[in-house]
Chains A and B, each alone.
Chain A
Amino acid sequence: MSKATHSIPRSIAAHAVLSAYTILALFPVVVIVINSFKTRKAIFRHPLAFPDSESFSLIGYETVIKQGDLFLYFQNSLIVTVASLFFVLLFGAMAAFALAEYRFRGNTLMGLYLALGIMIPIRLGTVFILKIMVASGLVNTLTALVLIYTAQGLPLAVFILSEFMRQVSDDLKNAGRIDGLSEYRIFFVLVLPLVRPAMATVGVFTMIPIWNDLWFPLIIAPAEETKTITLGAQVFIGQFVTDWNAVLSALSLAIIPVMVLYLIFSRQLIRGITAGAVK
């Protein structure tokens, strides 16, 4: 930034606001992580203190690891998240391409219809979804969750991606057509790489609610072998006694995979958010 547009008081103010927000956002996460390394007593006595030699304990992690199913829960969460993400991005991008690229009757209406789901939470339909899943024998399967999350993620994906696809140069697509590329090749080879930042943005916004969801796993797939990690962590929360060490440790562990996925997307994400702002 040049000196002319950069004043010290303004920059202090900006950093103050950003720091305050960062602290606010990170606070719960930090509390969970530091407490997961403390003894049960220390958690309740000094919840905000960092673990020291006296209060440090790995008892939570030990419990979690001994409770061998947790690995399975992780695996389930990962399968559901990655599969849903894949289908949301694939079908979302394809629908967005069609909406952005082809002129047909009802194009705008179709776009509105596909975006409607952004405003209507899918949970409103839980009862019907459950009925459908029961009827089709998909209760207690990961397939059911993948289907639901794909439906949940698609509206936002179509909405954001079609906006970006409209910006891809027509000339480029036409050059491809003249060279004899099929519409699929044009989509996969020419257009998708150019909207990669938008795909990453959509990816992150889709992935996090899926990973964190407790509702649908609890209702649709609560069986032992299909439990996701967020649901699995609930085994430590009893009606009368809660093993807080284990709960906090499980939650801390649950952060790691999303964090890795996020890091994969994040370079693209920042470009996606600032695209258009800076050419």
Chain B
Amino acid sequence: MGTLELKDIHKSFGDVEVLKNIDLTVEEGEFIIFVGPSGCGKSTLLRIIAGLEDATSGDITIGGEVVNDRPPSKRGIAMVFQTYALYPHLTVRGNMSLGLKQDGAPKAEIKQRVEQACDMLSLDELIDRRPAEMSGGQRQRVAIGRAIVRKPKLFLFDEPLSNLDAALRVNTRLEIARLHRQLGATMVYVTHDQVEAMTLGDRIVVLNDTRVEQIGAPMELYNNPANIFVAGFIGSPKMNFIDAKLLGRDDATTIGIRPEHISLGGEGGDIEGTVSHIERLGGETNLYLECGDMGLISVRLFGAYDFNIDDKLSGKFEDGRAFKFDEAGMRII
């Protein structure tokens, strides 16, 4: 039995169906990531789990109890929002203790839990500041602290890092990973970010256009995508898709190959093209080859290379790394 179970969740806003047939079981202590393009319903699903939005049909079970009719505060969850959503009139301490106060927890316990959370997130020095007197990163840490203090069965995160700058994002990401290990809590995390999805998650749920496309461990999605959508969505730069006919193959409609699985040079390559753009990132080099009918093919090389624009190159797919997809976009194995 999982900490969180979704059974056949549907959600529509008026006539617009936003979510269809969502089934999901999350085990105790698991870190689950929701990814998907903008507008696919990730936040809506998270809000349904939280009880901020009613599902049109379906059951939500948290910790073994059906919680469909329970208000958010009685579901044993805590949520961290993209915009932090701290109470502007309260100090850090006030923000963190409000939920417990509402629950009627004894004063001493509130104080102890708040201090413990502040300790964990190194917020001790900020404890008497108001949100307006803190930086974005500090505010998000307070928001995370506010969630921890409640000792929920389930943590919900809605793109918690997307308002932070790159360096802070890395730090806070590591912090969340550490918290997950330390607390052993179940977490559901919505993100746009490839790196967050791949590095934080035990399992990733890929959502697209009202449906779940695939659920699996990060490496499983990377190595065994169920369809063309997942193949294209997981991995950066994006997988190249080539019409099979152009490669002289008739066992598939589309061939997918990741940029990092194309090696350059050598005779008898699968593709040929001219370099149209080079991105040198230091540790790696991304080349974009103009390959005639096949279009722009990206190639990812590790290390620094001396290619020039308009160089003619041929590329070879690494053995067994090309994916085959049928007409409907499903993977052929």
Per the bound structure, the CA–CA distance linking A180 and B73 in Å amounts to: 5
Q: Are A177 and B72 in contact (CB under 8 A)?
A: yes
User: A23 vs B84: C-alpha distance in the bound complex, in angstroms?
Assistant: 48
Given A171-B81, A174-B52; A179-B98 close (CB under 8 Å): yes
| Cβ contacts under 8 Å, A181 to chain B | 98, 102
Stretch of A67-75, A111-119, A189-197, A255-263 lying at the B interface: A189-197
Check if A171 sits within 8 Å of B89, measured CB to CB.
no
Nearest A residue to B77 via CB reads A178
Nearest CB of A to B317, in Å: 46
Q: Which of A169, A176, A180 meets B103, CB within 8 Å?
A: A180
The interface size of chain B toward A, counting residues with CB under 8 Å, comes to 24
Decide: A180 and B89 in contact? CB cutoff 8 A. Answer: no
Residue B222 interfacial (CB < 8 Å) = no
Residues from chain B with a CB closer than 8 A to the CB of A171 are 81-85
Looking at chain A's contact residues, is the secondary structure mostly helix, strand, loop, or mixed? Answer: helix
Tell yes or no: B78 within 8 A of A by CB.
yes
B99 touches A172 (CB 8 A): no
Q: Is A122 an interface residue (CB 8 A)?
A: no
| Chain B CB within 8 A of A235 CB | no
* Chain A residues closer than 8 Å to B103, beta-carbon distance: 180
Contact A175 B85 (CB under 8 A): yes
CB within 8 A of B81: which of A174, A179, A180?
A174
A116→B77 CA distance, assembly (Å): 43
Q: A193 contacts B71, CB within 8 Å?
A: no
Task: State which of A177, A189, A194 has its C-beta within 8 Å of the C-beta of B52.
Answer: A177
The interface residues of chain A lying within 8 Å CB-to-CB of B74 are 180
Complex Cα spacing A175 to B78, Å: 9
A-contact bits for B95-109, CB 8 A (1 contact / 0 none): 000110011000000
* A176, A177, A178: residue with the most chain B Cβ atoms closer than 10 Å: A178
Minimum C-beta distance from A154 to chain B (A): 27
Q: Is B89 a contact of A175 with CB atoms below 8 Å?
A: no
CB distance from B157 to the nearest CB of A (A): 12
A178 touches B83 (CB 8 A): no
* Interface 1/0 per residue, A182-207 and B, CB below 8 Å: 00000001100110000000000000
Q: Which residues of A contact B77 (CB under 8 A)?
A: 178
Determine if B88 and A178 form an interchain contact, defined as CB atoms under 8 angstroms apart.
no
Quick check: A180 and B102 within 8 Å, CB to CB?
A: yes
Evaluate contact between B87 and A172: CB separation under 8 angstroms.
yes
In the complex, the answer to whether A177 meets B73 with C-beta atoms within 8 Å is yes
The answer to whether A178 and B79 have CB atoms under 8 Å apart is yes
> CB-CB < 8 A to B83: which residues of A?
169, 171-172
The 8 Å CB contact of B50, one of A169, A178, A193, is: A178
Residue in contact with B72 in the complex, picked from A169, A178, A189, A190, CB distance below 8 Å: A178
Assess A193 versus B81: contact at CB under 8 Å? Given A177-B52, A177-B71, A179-B98: no
- Shortest beta-carbon distance from B135 to chain A in Å: 18
- In the complex, which residues of chain A have a beta carbon less than 8 angstroms from the beta carbon of B86? 175
Contacts of B84 in A (CB 8 A): 171
Contact A169 B99 (CB under 8 A): no
Contacts of B87 in A (CB 8 A): 172, 175-176, 190
Within 8 A of A (CB), among B263-315: none
Mask of A161-172 contacts with B, CB within 8 angstroms, 1/0: 000000001011
- Given A179-B73, A180-B73, A174–B85 Cβ distance below 8 Å? yes
Given A171-B82, A178-B78, A178-B79, are A193 and B99 neighbors across the interface (CB < 8 Å)? no
User: Which residues of the other chain, B, contact A178 by a CB distance below 8 angstroms?
Assistant: 50, 52, 72-73, 77-79, 99
Complex Cα distance A274/B79, Å? 33
Q: How far in angstroms is the closest Cβ of chain A from B53? A: 10
For B82, list chain A residues within 8 Å (CB). Answer: 171
In the bound assembly, the distance between CA atoms of A139 and B87 in angstroms comes to 47
Q: Is the CB of B85 within 8 A of A180?
A: no
| Contacting residues of chain B (136-184) with chain A, CB-CB under 8 angstroms | 146
Least CB separation from B147: chain A residue: A178
| Residues A193 and B85 in contact, CB atoms below 8 Å apart | no
What 1/0 flags go to B40-80 for Cβ under 8 Å of A? Answer: 00000001001010000000000000000001111001110
A180-B73, A181-B102 are known contacts. Are A175 and B79 too (CB-CB below 8 A)?
A: yes
Chain B residue with minimal CB distance to A190? Answer: B87
Interchain CB contact (< 8 A) of A174 among B79, B88, B89, B98 = B79
Q: Which positions in B face A, CB cutoff 8 Å?
A: 47, 50, 52, 71-74, 77-79, 81-89, 98-99, 102-103, 146
Chain A to chain B contacts (Cβ below 8 Å), 5 pairs: A169-B85, A175-B79, A177-B71, A178-B99, A189-B89
Given contacts A172-B85, A174-B85, A178-B73, 7 further A-B contacts (CB under 8 A): A171-B82, A171-B85, A174-B47, A174-B81, A175-B79, A178-B78, A179-B73
